[in-house]
Structure 1
Amino acid sequence: MNDRRPIELETGWSYMENGIKKLKRLLEEEDEQQFSAEQYMQMYTTIYNMCTQKPPHDYSEALYDRYKQAFSLYIDEKVLPSLRDHRDEFLLRELLKRWNNHKVMVRWLSRFFNYLDRYYIQRHSLHSLQDVGLMRFRDEVYVEMKKKAKDAILALVEMERDGEQIDRTLLKNVLGIFIEVGMGSMDTYDADFEAYLLAESAAYYQRKAAAWIQEDSCPDYMLKAEECLKAEEERVVHYLHVTTKAKLLRAVETELLAKYETRLLEKEHSGAAALLRDDKKDDLARMYRLFLRIVKGLDPVADVFKRHVESEGMKLVREVTEAAAAKKEKDAGKLSRDTGSAHEQQFVRAVIDLHDKYMQYVADCFSNSSLFHKALKEAFESFCNKQVAGSSSAELMANFCDNLLKKGSLEKLSDEAVEETLEKVVKLLAYISDKDLFAEFYRKKLARRLLFDKSASDDHERSILARLKQQCGAQFTSKMEGMVNDLQLAREKQQQFDDWKQAGEKELPIELSVNVLTTGFWPTYKAVDLALPREMVEGVEQFKEWYEGTTKHRKLTWIYALGNCSLKANFDVRPVELILSTFQAALLLLFNNEGGADETLTYADVKERLNLPDEDVMRLLHSLACAKYKVLLKEPNTKTIGKSDSFRMNTKFTDRLRRIKIPLPPVDEKKKVIEDVDKDRRYAIDAAIVRTMKSRKVLQHQQLMLEVVGQLQRMFQPDFRLIKKRIEDLIQRDYLERDKDNANQYRYLA
């Protein structure tokens, strides 16, 4: 049975007040002893007893109210008066001190009144003692002081921006109050401080930017902008809340970068174009870093980059075109074998160097951004598809590769350098729209290198084909790979033929080497029925006998125009070894008969005995009688061949070299290549149209055009007029028909 007398409210509270006064004296740093364990227990027990008494002596509700009042009383007596006396940084220091004291007071009082938390507050779903204590400070101190505190903080932030040292720890701790009074929400921090910070920051940088844009160069302005952004990021680290970072940086970026981007990039002597012109890579990298921060900020930078690269490329095109024109004018009237070729070689090399340079820019300055890769691609596509000195880039690149891969190349490069250069040329090919034209020119050159043993290295030949295959697909290189493999097989066949001759003891009056080629892989060559000299006939017959004995259902077609011979010519002064085409050798051997050195043959005699057309006879006679090495003497002694001319051996011919090569006048193969490519394109367009219509059955004109272009543009840029023409042709040939009700729609006819 409990016979304890109840504690009256005023009696108990009087005792509690003494404890609260002691706590206040401690907070005010007056001369006072700390609470002993016994005093603490007495305070706790008093509250406990007053809350556990039977009604009407259960004073839980009254004590909850008086707990609140204890804070309000202290705030009115001590806290607010001390704060109202301070300004600026001193106010912040006092506010922080009062806040820390308040938290100590909450901690102690909530311990004394702890029993309320455990039972009364839970039962009645009220705010906890901790929350009530914080709410007293929020409602009575923070609400009154937040504007002054905010103004003081912003003033210090501006001082720091202007280069003064401030107490960052103080700011961090005071801003902690703005966050803590939100009691788990960032609303008070956002509304009472952050919104003002963002507005002030925007205004501050608006003033700075307006001054800097007038007086600073683009690099100087960017340097300042970057330093400011870095300083703002540090500000967040040291005293602002992390959620402020993105918003603050956005505000600063808007004022410093977004609003002035156009003016910055277009500054006359220091904008983006000037930085590219002067190779200011560090400044360009800074420009990239800065404008990466703003939405679509890099688009104008990429556009300037594209225009600059395009301009550099067009300058190369103009230089080479002008140099070739000047050389052509200088060589007018002379027989120039390869006008402008050196300049054109230099052009491809210059384009490679230009590509290397700006690929390095994309990597070093623009972080390999896809936007800048695209700008570089578009710039190179623009000038790489222009005519250069009357030639397409496709032809020039094929010629460049030929020069690189043949023996006696003008560019003396190591194997590694050749491989590296080939890789770069193949990369450039990606920018060429007429890849099929490159393929045809390259195939012609490859054929000459292989057939005339001009290729410097099989490894390099296979290496570039592997790169081309990777870049353009297997179909692109299938014929070229077939050509290289043919030559390998031809060597094996030659060995088999030699073994067959040896086994059958079949001797030939001449040494004979034959390359057997597969028709489908090689360019088309004109087969001329040359009347072979008797010295050669026996070798051809023997090879046919052996070949027909080892293979079935295969027909040999002899392409004498591609053959070459080595003849020993016994002139009066001394013998000279002549390296000739089969045609030239056959012509000279006409003079190697009983008539002796004095025999004279007319133009008609030569034509009849060789069984060749005029075009070939003219070229042969010109090379032997009118060019550098005059092995034949001509009557009359003019520089052109006439059908009434007569010829005899120049027995007095001599040269300082014991072995000389007599070239035929060059034939312009360009026209033939372009004709072949045009023909192949017509077939490709027909195939694409039929393939598309077969799968779709019915299609609108515009859709068909787009699908055909999509299929073909990897190899060439098809002409819309040509596609239209091919559609009409296929309609006539009953592959397609126009819809009866809609002329703009086609149907596939199976």
Structure 2
Amino acid sequence: MSKLLTRRPDRVDLTKPRVSIQPHQGVRKLTIKNLRPAARQDSLDQYYARAFGELQDALRCILERKQPKQPLERLYRNVEDLCRHGKAKEIYDHLRMICEAHLQHEVLAAIDRDAGNVHLGVPKLKSVHKHWVIWQTQSTTIRSIFSYLDRAFLLNQKDLQQINDMTISLFRRACFKHTELNRHGRLPGPDAISGMCDLVEYDRRADARFDAALLRDSVSMVNVLNIYGKYFEPKLLSCSRAYFSEFAEEHSAASLKSYITACEGLLAREDFRCNAYNFDSTTKRQLMDDAHATLIDEYTDKLLDGESLSKLLDENEVEVLKALYELLRLSSIQKKLKEPWTAYIKVAGSAIVNDTARGDEMVVRLLLFRRTLDVMIRDAFDKDADFSYSLKEAFASFVNDKKILASWKTGTSKVGEMIAKHIDLLLRGGLKTLPQSLLSDVQDRADAEKSGQASTGDEDAELDRQLDQALELFRFIEGKDVFEAFYKQDLARRLLMGRSASADAERSMLSKLKSECGSSFTHNLEQMFKDQALARDEMASYRAWREGNGHKTGGLDLSVSILSAAAWPTYPDTNILLPDNVASQVEQFDKYYVNKHTGRRLTWKHSLAHCVVKARFNKGPKELLVSAYQAVVLTLFNQVEGRGGDNEVLTYQQVSEGTGLTGGDLDRTLQSLACGKSRVLTKNPKGKEVNPTDTFTVNKAFVDPKYRVKINQIQLKETKEENQATHERVAQDRQFETQAAIVRIMKSRKTMTHAELVAEVINQTKSRGAVDTAEIKKNIEKLIEKEYLEREGNSYEYLA
């Protein structure tokens, strides 16, 4: 209310000075008057009424999706004026009432109408979402007009919702939570939720009715309405569990590979859908848990079926097994996968080592098998240490299975023998003797570089890696004495015949064996290398002595390897008639050595000798690399050369008498010269076998593109009899070692029970080879007979 300050007019004397205070009259009176007429109040009431009416009209236009007649700025000022006039609560209640009435009548009716008045999920969902989008647009305009009400009044009211929350709450209440049915007797919300689940179902079944945009927008809608966890998630999970059960039942009749592939695809699609359409993380986790429970836990027997898994492993289905491993990762049954894995390895490995028809391929097949399994662990099982440990246990089991002894009838480890022969093949021929699949792949090279090892792309490094692979098989065998015996024989041949592909590889392998088994295991092997070095020094000394004494060589260059009898394998003594010039050189060296080393004696092993023989043929001269046996036979023909006709023919008997060779040695020698690839002799009659009635002549028409020709030295190959003799010798040595261990133990303990003695013997002899308890008992009986022990009840006493 405005007021005006006035005063009464006075007379003024212009001739006198003006003073503001009249001391005799005092302060003058001031009269304040109300200048606003009574009609002014009526004008204000009309203004507020008009402002309220304009807001009502604007709300009606907004809800009818029309442009308000008044500018939004004026409408905002009307709200501000009404709020300042104390009408804030009245405006809020009126706004809520109008919005609620609009939603309950017009919007619900429009939703039913747009959905075709049917209660189908997807059509109703489309209609609900359409009107939700409209309502959001309307709400935005309403909030902008009534923003002053939000900031000045509602912000400080704890029991009243702000406009944004109110509009969301009203739509949720109208469509999803209202306790009263609409005029059609059914709320659209449940149908809309069903429609969302139907869309997920369409996507799962690749139905063309699937609408990705609608599903994504619908998830956003229920999140904003805050009904995702209460209505949508439970419905979705319930429908999903039913789908998972149907899916599992449908695919369970297929093969394991098909089932795993189908499950992997389903889980990948579920994961993608949850991420692509913004499902909550709890929904995703629960969906995956339900899928695993249905697809995996309920079908454990199928997933762990040994026969099906064996087929996948046989076919090297890395991707399928990787999928299976990933499927089981979140399940408690993952560890049970080791059982069929271990069983498969034992069965497949036993089949390899018991295959007597392919014994020569045993170790290569085992290495290929091990390589396949290692790649499977690396690429499919995520380098799981449990699977690696199971693999080693399985290998140790079938490698030392007693059934192998029965299959091969060797009495000792056949696997140990074949590993020694495989290493011999590697050290003689290098990598070219191996199949390509055994060599390192790109991933192996990358792992080697990461670990700081030499690149497996280098040939020496790859050879060293292959030796390590063979050594891993060697670690599994309990009969290491068998390996030692055969490795020693093969090493001797390589050293004596100069057949090692790499001296560095030989030393590396010896170092590996020493590290693995100790110095006692490699003592004799190291002595063999020392003997080779001493022999070179001895020959240098001999040549110097010969030159100093003026001894002539007669065109013959003799080289002798002096071997320690204890370190080298035992070779049979053979009587052979050497050519005169060779015999004289051998005798000369024998005298030199005996005179130089008093008390020593040389035993000549001509079966190990080899030499180069110069031969003349019609097409020119050749140098023949042959064994001593072959050289003796060939030089025998020098005695009949030039006689002409049948006089240049030697019979089987004549060759035998002229060389001193008989039996198998002679047969193999003649066969290598007359029936092999390089036939320097001609046999009559022709054939692959040598008979006592055959005759032989020099093949003067012999040709070969090389000047130096290597003739196959059959007598250096190990025969079946020699192989069996080696196994028998190992078995016999094992008996002696067992008896020695028994005596050693009893000598220190004096008295022991049978069980204690057997356990201690097994413990002391296991590094050399497993001894059966029955064999230990037999050796105890032998020692009792020899009066080393005496039985007292169930105990034994040592007899000094």
TM-score for the superposition, normalised by structure 1: 0.62
CA distance 1:436–1:2, change in 2 (3 Å)? farther
Match of 1:595 in 2: none
Q: Determine which of 408, 411, 425 is the counterpart of 2:470.
A: 425
Q: Determine which of 161, 166, 191 is the counterpart of 1:148.
A: 191
Query: Structure 2 regions of 5+ residues with no counterpart?
Result: 4-35, 179-187, 437-457, 576-582, 613-623, 633-658, 668-694, 701-710, 746-754, 780-800
Whether the 8 Å contact between 1:430 and 1:471 is mirrored in structure 2 is no
Match of 2:284 in 1: 245
What's the offset of the Cα at 1:408? 13
Residue identity in the other structure for 1:384: V
Match of 2:423 in 1: 401
Q: Within 1, Cα distance between the matches of 2:485 and 2:53?
A: 105
Whether the 8 Å contact between 2:88 and 2:149 is mirrored in structure 1 is no
Match of 1:384 in 2: 399
Match of 1:171 in 2: 215
CA distance 1:410–1:97, change in 2 (3 Å)? closer
Whether the 8 Å contact between 1:26 and 1:34 is mirrored in structure 2 is no
Query: Any idea what SS the aligned residue of 1:166 has?
Result: coil
2:478 maps to 1:442? no
TM-score for the superposition, normalised by structure 2: 0.59
Q: Within 1, Cα distance between the matches of 2:299 and 2:430?
A: 57
Q: Within 2, Cα distance between the matches of 1:718 and 1:18?
A: 108
Whether the 8 Å contact between 2:48 and 2:82 is mirrored in structure 1 is yes
Residue identity in the other structure for 2:418: L
Whether the 8 Å contact between 2:123 and 2:195 is mirrored in structure 1 is no
Q: Determine which of 192, 207, 228 is the counterpart of 2:246.
A: 207
Q: Within 2, Cα distance between the matches of 1:313 and 1:39?
A: 89
What's the offset of the Cα at 1:44? 4.2
Q: CA RMSD in A?
A: 6.2
Task: Tell which deviates more after alignment, 23-32 or 357-366.
Answer: 357-366
Matches within 5 A, 1:212-361: 212-214=251-253, 216-243=254-281, 244-263=283-302, 266=305, 271-276=308-313, 279=315, 281=317, 284-285=320-321, 288=324, 291-292=327-328, 295-296=331-332, 303-318=339-354, 320-321=355-356, 323=357, 343-356=358-371, 359=374
What's the offset of the Cα at 1:241? 0.6
Task: Tell which deviates more after alignment, 424-433 or 654-663.
Answer: 654-663
Match of 1:40 in 2: 76
Whether the 8 Å contact between 1:348 and 1:397 is mirrored in structure 2 is yes
Matches within 5 A, 1:11-22: 15-16=51-52, 18-19=54-55, 21-22=57-58
Query: Structure 1 regions of 5+ residues with no counterpart?
Result: 51-56, 183-187, 324-342, 549-554, 569-575, 585-621, 631-652, 689-700, 727-750
What's the offset of the Cα at 1:173? 1.5
Whether the 8 Å contact between 1:314 and 1:383 is mirrored in structure 2 is yes
2:82 maps to 1:25? no
Q: Within 2, Cα distance between the matches of 1:460 and 1:373?
A: 31
Q: Determine which of 131, 143, 147 is the counterpart of 1:113.
A: 147
CA distance 1:683–1:438, change in 2 (3 Å)? farther
Whether the 8 Å contact between 1:257 and 1:290 is mirrored in structure 2 is no
Query: Any idea what SS the aligned residue of 1:669 has?
Result: helix
Match of 1:694 in 2: none
Residue identity in the other structure for 2:237: L
Match of 1:695 in 2: none
2:715 maps to 1:670? no
Task: Tell which deviates more after alignment, 27-36 or 189-198.
Answer: 27-36
Match of 1:490 in 2: 534
Q: Deviations over 1:655-695 (max 9, x none)?
A: 8699998969965233443455677799999999xxxxxxx
Query: Any idea what SS the aligned residue of 2:252 has?
Result: helix
Residue identity in the other structure for 1:259: E
Whether the 8 Å contact between 1:60 and 1:116 is mirrored in structure 2 is no
What's the offset of the Cα at 1:474? 7.2
Match of 1:181 in 2: 225
Whether the 8 Å contact between 2:478 and 2:769 is mirrored in structure 1 is yes
Q: Within 2, Cα distance between the matches of 1:130 and 1:660?
A: 98
Whether the 8 Å contact between 1:175 and 1:240 is mirrored in structure 2 is yes
Q: Within 2, Cα distance between the matches of 1:390 and 1:545?
A: 48
Q: Within 2, Cα distance between the matches of 1:31 and 1:504?
A: 129
Whether the 8 Å contact between 1:436 and 1:715 is mirrored in structure 2 is yes
Matches within 5 A, 1:424-573: 424-435=469-480, 437-451=482-496, 453=497, 455-459=499-503, 461-462=505-506, 465=509, 468=512, 472=516, 479=523, 482-483=526-527, 485-486=529-530, 489-490=533-534, 492-494=536-538, 496-498=540-542, 500-501=544-545, 504-505=548-549, 507=551, 513=559, 515=561, 522=567, 539-540=589-590, 542-543=592-593
Q: Within 2, Cα distance between the matches of 1:345 and 1:466?
A: 23
Match of 1:75 in 2: 103
Q: Deviations over 1:40-69 (max 9, x none)?
A: 34434543x34xxxxxx5x66666656655
CA distance 1:230–1:526, change in 2 (3 Å)? closer
Q: Deviations over 1:381-429 (max 9, x none)?
A: 3333233512421112213433554599997999979948656534433
Q: Within 2, Cα distance between the matches of 1:662 and 1:623?
A: 18
2:124 maps to 1:91? yes
What's the offset of the Cα at 1:213? 3.2
Q: Within 2, Cα distance between the matches of 1:722 and 1:457?
A: 41
Query: Any idea what SS the aligned residue of 2:408 has?
Result: coil
Match of 2:33 in 1: none
**Whose Rg is larger?**
2
Residue identity in the other structure for 2:495: L
CA distance 1:299–1:684, change in 2 (3 Å)? farther
Q: Within 1, Cα distance between the matches of 2:156 and 2:520?
A: 82
What's the offset of the Cα at 1:235? 2.8
Aligned length: 612
Q: Within 2, Cα distance between the matches of 1:2 and 1:686?
A: 132
Residue identity in the other structure for 2:190: K
CA distance 1:295–1:70, change in 2 (3 Å)? same
Q: Within 1, Cα distance between the matches of 2:128 and 2:742?
A: 83
Q: Within 2, Cα distance between the matches of 1:657 and 1:457?
A: 33
Q: Within 1, Cα distance between the matches of 2:175 and 2:588?
A: 120
Whether the 8 Å contact between 1:578 and 1:662 is mirrored in structure 2 is no
Query: Any idea what SS the aligned residue of 2:477 has?
Result: coil
Residue identity in the other structure for 1:236: C
CA distance 1:362–1:657, change in 2 (3 Å)? farther
Q: Deviations over 1:239-258 (max 9, x none)?
A: 35151233223323433343
What's the offset of the Cα at 1:465? 0.7
Query: Any idea what SS the aligned residue of 1:455 has?
Result: coil
What's the offset of the Cα at 1:189? 2.0
Whether the 8 Å contact between 1:395 and 1:437 is mirrored in structure 2 is yes
Residue identity in the other structure for 1:113: S
Whether the 8 Å contact between 1:565 and 1:579 is mirrored in structure 2 is yes
Residue identity in the other structure for 1:165: R
